[in-house]
Amino acid sequence: MRKTIKEKLDKIDECFTSDRLTKSKERWRRLWAGEPPQDRIPYDTVPISAPQYDPIIDKKSMLDIMLDDCIWRGHIESDHIPSLFSGCRQGTIPSMFGAREIVAGAHEDDYTCERLLNSYEDVDNLCQPELHEYIGAWRWIELAKFYLEETEGRIAIQVCDMQGPVDTAGQLMGYENLLLLANDEPELYRSLIKKTTLAYEMLWQAQKDIIGEELFAGTHLIMSNWYPKCAGVTISVDSMVMVSPSFFEEFYAPSLEEIAEKFGGVTIHSCGNFSNVTKSIGRVKGMRGIHASEMSIKELIDAGIDKNLMFISMSGMEQIEESMSYNKQNSIRSVMNINPWIQGKKAGKPWLWDNNEWSQIKRNEQIILSSCAI
């Protein structure tokens, strides 16, 4: 183990003592189980920086930055559970079908994949997914091994950020063509989704097998990085913002229910406003929770989401008191990822904070704690 890694892990252990972690995990478990809190409602803070979505950064630098982030988050009395996130590349699961990764973006700083399916005949002839060392998806297996070796198993590791079965199919075919396929050839559509569902399950299980039960953090949501087992797996379903409730229930729900049955539940994430399908989400068998990066808890409830689900959303300091008050009044099970940090040019560089700025952060912490009190 590198000396710098050992020193950082030791600092993390000093911040996140065994007693602190035990209390935080119990707070999370109670919240997910719908049990009354013992002392306060749990909360987490957003990362100070997010290098995981920088496709250029090397794995050693990423590890150093994430460990630094854990240390600084440890100075706030949140219920953060330290873990290492792998990252995200949109071509991950498509590579399991042979799709090549493509550099994209105005600054060539992002990745996508080639479209493999240009006709319905291509869909019919698509191979079964494979996971081996010669495809892009294998990088996450290698990265998990790297994390384990570098830290000697002293910190939990999350799965990579993978799109779910429908969005994987959308990448392979193009969303517009995928929607037409569902309308024109529904059985062929279901055959495609069956393959992309299998690929999702294979990659999730492979990462879990490498990391091991004790260290495996079964979520890719860096804003909410520890879930009890009852939460099931996490799936990104970004494209559900584009479809109707009936389309969701017929063409999205079956794959989600299959995954939920296999892994003991499912918690879904989507960027954007998906209020059009919130009622349908609540009817998915095995649905445990929903992670919304662009919708507030109130917006979800107003759109008709099932109040028995667990809600995870983002919140700024200016919204925390109002949001927590709303949640308590309506008996909603929710957690907010709150941003107590000083923003601007020093974001991501906490060592540049002066005493006055750090005092403001601690004042923000007291506002959060008082809002979370029962």
Q: 332-365: per-residue pLDDT in tens? A: 888 778 889 887 656 567 777 888 889 999 999 9
For the entire predicted model, the pTM comes to: 0.92
What dihedral angle (degrees, nearest 10) is formed by the CA atoms of 189, 194, 197, 201? Answer: -170
Query: Mean pLDDT, to the nearest integer, of 49-63?
Result: 75
What is the pLDDT, as a whole number, of residue 347?
59
Higher-pLDDT residue of 315, 145: 145
What is the pLDDT, as a whole number, of residue 223?
67
CB–CB of 306/334 below 8 Å?
A: no
95's CB contacts (< 8 A; 6+ apart) are 101, 113, 135, 136, 137
What is the pLDDT, as a whole number, of residue 313?
84
- Residue 235 is given by DSSP the state E
Q: What is the rounded distance in angstroms from the CA atom of residue 24 to the CA atom of residue 134?
A: 40
What is the pLDDT, as a whole number, of residue 258?
97
In sequence order, what DSSP letters do the residues of 140-174 get, joined into one string?
Answer: HHHHHHHHHHHHTT-SEEEPPB-B-HHHHHHHHH-
What is the pLDDT, as a whole number, of residue 106?
58
What is the pLDDT, as a whole number, of residue 20?
97
